[in-house]
Amino acid sequence: MKQGFSGPKGGGIKLEKDCGALVNLVSRKVKRRLNVTLQGLGITAIQSRVIYYILVHCQQGPVFQRDIEQVFGMSRSTATGILQQLEKKDIIRRESVSTDARLKSLVPTERAAELDAQVRACLRQTDAVLTRGLSEGQVQLFKEIAAAMAQNLEQAEDVPPAEP
């Protein structure tokens, strides 16, 4: 059995003390489910979220790689790899910005727009499974708690690690 959880024969998860382990477990299960669901479209879960972000935000102004890094909390090299794969699949393209040729905005292609409805359907389906049996109040409370936990971790990044 995994540390922090005991799985009864019914397959349920008995909560213990470690919030981080539970959040990690849910995250891995969501990612795994999305990856399987999106496999037929030829994209991964994180690629689908990046595509969605670019499609929504490019209507409000240019979207840059640094935006993807900040929003998704990923390193430059990770973002570069994801964006290169999306370019290779003709889902996005990079265009020079007129004010600074070094900057490249991320622009969705027609293929991104074609994938959009299917990706949204997969995301909605996964969210429906994830929240099945929960009230709207429980879902809202979870969102508030998860956002607060994320903020706590973000603020803690500024704190130096404890000395041994």
Average pLDDT for 9-29: 77
Query: CB-hemisphere CA count at 13 Å for 14?
Result: 10
How far apart, in whole angstroms, are the C-alpha atoms of residue 67 and residue 72?
8
Q: What are the structural domain ranges in the chain?
A: 19-130
Name the more confident of 159 and 95. Answer: 95
pTM: 0.73
Q: How confident is the model at residue 6 (pLDDT cuts 50, 70, 90)?
A: very low
Assign 103 to helix, strand or coil: strand
Q: What is the Cα gyration radius of the chain?
A: 19
Q: List, for residues 67-113, the tens digit of each pLDDT value.
A: 999 999 999 999 999 999 999 999 999 999 888 878 899 999 999 99
Specify burial of residue 43 (Cβ count, 10 A radius: 0-12, 13-18, 19+).
buried
Q: List, for residues 111-142, the tens digit of each pLDDT value.
A: 999 999 998 899 899 999 999 999 999 999 99
How far apart, in whole angstroms, are the C-alpha atoms of residue 58 and residue 107?
7
How far apart, in whole angstroms, are the C-alpha atoms of residue 123 and residue 118?
9
- Inform me whether the pLDDT recorded for 50 exceeds 70: yes
CATH architecture group of domain 19-130: Orthogonal Bundle (1.10)
